[in-house]
Amino acid sequence: MDSVTQAVLGAAIGGAIAPAGQRRKALLAGAALGTLPDLDVIIDYGDAVANFTYHRGFSHSLFVLPPFALLLWLALRGWWAPVRDAPWRWLAIIGLALVTHPLLDAHTAYGTQLLWPLESPPVMWATLFIIDPLFTLPMLVAIVIAAAWPAKRSSGTVIRAGLLASTLYLGWSWTAQSIVAGHARDALADRGLSGAPVFVTPTPFNTLLWRVVVLTNEGYLEGFDSVLVDEASLEVSAYRSDRQSLLAADTVWAVSRLRWFSREFVKASVVDDRLLITDLRMGQEPVYVFTHVVAARGNPHWEPISTELISPTIDERVLLDAWRRMWTH
């Protein structure tokens, strides 16, 4: 999720657990802790694909964050009065503010390596867009109220109510995704594609309109489905991918790494004897967020190069056209 949402979630956790006399300190500390795992973005791994796929790695691991939280708590307990005065509450604040960060990130399409250093593919539940105001606002309103009147006992109740509202919305996102996935399975069965890999993710800023990507032998299908439309059908458009070049270049580390990171939801194309790989999970036709130049055509094999991220050209009309589908197919 975006950094603002992570800070808000951390602050809400701090404000909900801390004693009333420490609430403002807990709001600030929780916000800082909630954004801490994303500091891995300052690390330059020396390559565009490496930077893309190592983000949300060790700093988001459930094997790393709990022991780090314990060590941080022990260090703070030795010199910071709030932790000394309410040690167990602060252990909960530190631990939950850190661990909820990657768990929330795993609800987006990007992919979070919760089990690093194990080589399991990143977790991408994809039930939330990376920015979703309806998830963030209940907590944000609650912490603003609590910051204004921190000593009131009711402030803690307000924050907990905000957390509950956001949690219920998160639960709704799973339900909405399940509805759309069911529509997709029915539509694919009619097309003879029952076993095809499917990726279902929300369109920007909402959980009503969903995008569906289906991998085929020739490329992929893309369609949209709205939970507001009472139809169990899904209209899709077909697009081609240069799968032959993708498979031929798999010995190149950047190619195999991107296929692993995206769970194969990529599009391959060749431009000027260079292989481009587009991540199909983030964006929509024809605009995608992440397209990397990963290899050069050699004789006879594809050869590795210093990879490059191609900046997307944002077209607001594409987003507006997709949102119109929210009300009708």
Contacts of residue 164, Cβ cutoff 8 Å, sequence gap at least 6: none
Q: Could you please report the per-residue DSSP string of 16-43?
A: HHS-GGGHHHHHHHHHHHHHGGGGGGG-
Whether 194 is in a domain gets the answer no
Q: Provide, rounded to the nearest whole percent, the portion of the chain with pLDDT above 90.
A: 85
Contact 60, 116 (CB under 8 A): yes
Q: Which of 80, 101, 125 is the last residue of a domain?
A: 125
Straight-line distance from the first to the last Cα atom of the chain, in angstroms, rounded to the nearest whole number: 28
Whether 155 is in a domain gets the answer no
The tokens for 119 are 């080589």
Predicted local confidence at residue 143, as pLDDT = 96
State the pTM of this model.
0.94
200 - beta bridge partners?
212
- Average the pLDDT over 41-58 and give the result: 96
Whether 51 is in a domain gets the answer yes
Using a CB cutoff of 8 Å and minimum separation of 24, what contacts does 185-192 make?
186/232, 186/233, 186/234, 187/223, 187/233, 187/234, 187/236, 188/214
- Average the pLDDT over 242-269 and give the result: 97
Q: Can you give the residue range of the structural domain that contains 79?
A: 3-125
pLDDT-derived band of residue 311, with 50, 70 and 90 as boundaries? confident
Whether 10 is in a domain gets the answer yes
pLDDT tens-digit map of 137-172: 999 999 999 999 887 878 999 999 999 999 999 999
Q: Which of 92, 125, 158 is the last residue of a domain?
A: 125
Residue that is written with structure tokens 């700093």 in the block: 59
224 - beta bridge partners?
211
Mean pLDDT score of the chain: 94
Q: Which of 90, 125, 160 is the last residue of a domain?
A: 125
Whether 18 is in a domain gets the answer yes
Whether 324 is in a domain gets the answer no
The tokens for 186 are 């029915």
Whether 107 is in a domain gets the answer yes
Q: How many domains does the chain have?
A: 2
Whether 297 is in a domain gets the answer yes
